[in-house]
Chains A and B, each alone.
Chain A
Amino acid sequence: MSAPVFIAGLGAISSIGNNIAECLAAFKNEKAGMADMVYLDSVHRNKIPVAEVKFSNEELAALSGLSSQISRTAHLSMIAAKEAVDDAGIENFSSLRTGFISANTVGGMDKTENFFKEFLSDNKKGKLRNVVNHECGSITELVADKLGVKNYISTISTACSSSANAIFFGARMIKHNMLDVVVAGGADAITKFTLNGFNTLMILDNEYCKPFDENRRGLNLGEGAGYVVLVSERIAKMLKKTAYCTLSGYCNANDAYHQTASSPDGIGSYLAMEGALKLSGLKPSDIDYINLHGTGTQNNDIAEGTAIKRLFDPHFPKMSSTKSFTGHTLGASGSIEAVFSALSIQKGIVYPNLRFHTQMKELPFAPETVFSENLTVNHVLSNSFGFGGNCSSLIFSKL
């Protein structure tokens, strides 16, 4: 049970890049992914900026190998998962006990919302192919089947912490010796359903988001997918390359305060971070970098910041919200940020928190504002918090 779980492969697609190399280049060039809406057909176009992956469904299909009629979420999932599996380069992949644990928040909603237009006028109308993959689990199966993963397949949906939970569920299955290799992460495409949902909550910034800034006004929705390939120690030794890092800690706690809002003291966030530290056997001062949940909403950033203050004061590690680049990719955010966290350790880099200008008056610390290289990053904490009070933290550690 105490054997470490290694991260052997990484894959990501987001508004700042279609693969890991492109995402890293965007960080270095401080180039954010938000823009006016191009691919989503919504009345909010040109009013609400979004962080879209810069490909049409047809272009994504050419990369994913799936039908262009299929949900955008499945394409994003497939592209990033495939990159992760290829990156790990596990030779006898198909002969091992493999799992695919994925996360998303609305399944094939991008297709369902189009189906619904015709269906509402007559419930015998609307193309069934547009709802056949409505279920969250269907998206996972489309990708699992194409990857050739069979031994264990599951889907987690705990709103914006979904893919963080998927990653450590996968890690636990390895620790229990149920599986050898788990491809774990999540994907979400921007849909009208989520865009309008967040819009009704009045937490979307109509400019580019400013996480952890005193004058933050809300989040920008993003889309993408991120996956890690988790392997047991036995498999890690068989790799042709060195693993990126280990997943040394994780914890899931509930804020139990409100269905959508975080508690003022961020108790759920605090317990998630504290629990992850405890499992990893680390002290707060061992953490070199925190990849913040940092959505840019008034409520999240003060709750998360207050929890960090309570846990880390007076030694604050470097921290930043990469959502200032990618937007909030919802069910994919935990795993996209897990990928960035693993790269932070392997490459000794820390990402900037874009558009930070004014210190939050309640907090004694500020996020990083520049891209830093040549650092020694031994331990990274990554936070993901979601509706329903679901708070999860992951810790990645240098080998």
Chain B
Amino acid sequence: MKMFIRATGNISPQQTFGNVPFLAEAVEYTGNRLSCIEPDYKDIIDPKMIRRMSRIIKMGVAAATACLKESGVEKPDAIITGTAYGCLQDTDLFLTKMVEQNEELLTPTAFIQSTHNTIGAQIGLMLKSNNYNNAFVHRGFSFESALLDGVMLLMENAASNFLVGAVDELTDNSYAILNRFGLYKQKPLSNLDLYKTNSRGTIAGEGSSFFLIAKEESVNDYAQLNGMSTFYKPKDIAETGNQITAFLAAQAVTMDDIDLVITGKNGNAKDDVVYNHLALSVFKAATLANYKHLCGEYPTSTAFALWLAAQIIKTGTIPAVLNIDNPGKVIKKILIHNHYQDTHHTLLLLSAC
């Protein structure tokens, strides 16, 4: 079945939101933490609602609103979100008060908004939409599950379009904890040099990316979404290679048909072993690009890669910030391969409409 990416909305550590040129230049960060560049929410969300919303809810609702506006769809047939960590700021706030005040004199707002489905619920509430509304919270598969849910709805004729998004935020506390797990690089570096080091750890990221995906083609579509596959804890790189080959076969394409492969390389020597091996095997002849120097590493970052791929296909340009060898190349088919800690692997195939 055919399906089309009709619109996108993306808040990220780069200039990706609103009427801006497509990644004209990279925003540079030194240190190991990238933070979203947030828009002025007054122009996007009802100011009465903004006051009560925490940062992740604002990022989610704003990206979803922009996406819907671009799509011209008032009420999508389904709203599906993916978030690995959920609304951390609200969780953190309620937990902190609970500990500090020894479970006494607490107020409900942070608790209410800490629920993992808050962003999808707020979008539904704002649109007064009684339609399908679901929220997936499975680490590096959160966005992928949400996307699969929507794709199945289209195949079931239960929906003709759906709004799907991935939202994850970093808070000072989540960053401190994840840093203690050794996820991030210990020496400051520029995100633009992410792939030059061969050391442990990556850079922390976050983002809010939404897509309106429809069964019917329209004149303004970004790209056609051809297929997706996910696989869990492959036993070795050979299995990952086999999964990629099987996915391509299922999509009836070969690597010769793929104009660009976007990989999830994150600068962590351990994580990048997989990509480095594939670059010499399955992807030997492919044009390869990376994206995590732009958005950092986080469990739902595949959504940023999907936005990037959709933009490349729609605009017909490969931004210089991707540093690929032949930037003039015509791009009609893009394969995305991302993995989160070699546990959650995702393959996505997009093509020009």
Chain A residues with CB under 8 Å of chain B are 1, 42-44, 105, 107, 112-113, 116-117, 119-120, 123-124, 128, 131-132, 135-138, 140-141, 150-159, 165, 169, 172-173, 176, 192-193, 196-197, 199-201, 252-260, 267-268, 271, 386-390
In the bound assembly, the distance between CA atoms of A43 and B142 in angstroms comes to 35
11 contacts between A and B (CB under 8 A): A113-B95, A120-B99, A150-B232, A157-B115, A172-B152, A201-B108, A254-B121, A256-B128, A258-B125, A259-B112, A387-B121
In chain B, what residue has the closest Cβ to A279? B158
Q: In the assembled complex, which residues on chain A have CB atoms less than 8 Å from the CB atom of B131?
A: 253-254
**B99, B102, B108, B130 — which one has the most chain A CB atoms within 10 A of its CB?**
B130
In the bound assembly, the distance between CA atoms of A101 and B139 in angstroms comes to 13
Minimum CB–CB distance for A134 against chain B, Å? 8
**A120, A137, A257 — which one has the most chain B CB atoms within 10 A of its CB?**
A137
Q: For residues 141 through 155 of chain B, which have their beta carbon under 8 Å from a beta carbon of chain A?
A: 141-142, 145, 149, 152, 155
**Residue of A119, A197, A253, A390 touching B173 (CB-CB under 8 A):** A119
In the bound assembly, the distance between CA atoms of A26 and B214 in angstroms comes to 49
Q: For residues 78 through 113 of chain B, which have their beta carbon under 8 Å from a beta carbon of chain A?
A: 79, 84-86, 91, 94-96, 98-100, 102-104, 106-108, 111-113
Residue B236 CB within 8 A of the other chain: no
Query: Is the CB–CB distance between A157 and B232 below 8 Å?
Result: no
In the bound assembly, the distance between CA atoms of A42 and B94 in angstroms comes to 15
Using known A-B contacts A254-B133, A256-B125, determine if residue A157 contacts B95 with beta carbons closer than 8 Å. no
In the bound assembly, the distance between CA atoms of A271 and B179 in angstroms comes to 45
In chain A, what residue has the closest Cβ to B107? A200
Chain B residues with CB under 8 Å of chain A are 79, 84-86, 91, 94-96, 98-100, 102-104, 106-108, 111-118, 120-122, 124-125, 127-139, 141-142, 145, 149, 152, 155-156, 173, 176-177, 180-181, 230, 232-233, 343
In the bound assembly, the distance between CA atoms of A199 and B105 in angstroms comes to 10
Query: Is the CB–CB distance between B84 and A137 below 8 Å?
Result: yes
Query: Is the CB–CB distance between B112 and A387 below 8 Å?
Result: yes
Minimum CB–CB distance for B116 against chain A, Å? 4
**Residue of A117, A156, A159, A255 touching B99 (CB-CB under 8 A):** A117
In chain B, what residue has the closest Cβ to A169? B149
In chain A, what residue has the closest Cβ to B129? A256
Query: Is the CB–CB distance between B180 and A268 below 8 Å?
Result: no
- Which 8 residue pairs across A and B have the least CB separation, nearest first? A388-B121, A197-B111, A157-B116, A137-B139, A137-B138, A200-B108, A155-B138, A136-B137
Q: In the assembled complex, which residues on chain B have CB atoms less than 8 Å from the CB atom of A117?
A: 99
In the bound assembly, the distance between CA atoms of A151 and B135 in angstroms comes to 20
Using known A-B contacts A196-B111, A200-B111, determine if residue A105 contacts B116 with beta carbons closer than 8 Å. yes
**Residue of A1, A140, A386 touching B117 (CB-CB under 8 A):** A386
Using known A-B contacts A105-B116, A176-B152, A389-B124, determine if residue A253 contacts B132 with beta carbons closer than 8 Å. yes
In the bound assembly, the distance between CA atoms of A390 and B118 in angstroms comes to 10
Known: A156-B145, A158-B133. 4 other contacts (CB 8 A): A153-B138, A157-B137, A193-B111, A199-B106
Minimum CB–CB distance for A195 against chain B, Å? 8
In the bound assembly, the distance between CA atoms of A308 and B294 in angstroms comes to 51
Q: In the assembled complex, which residues on chain B have CB atoms less than 8 Å from the CB atom of A258?
A: 125
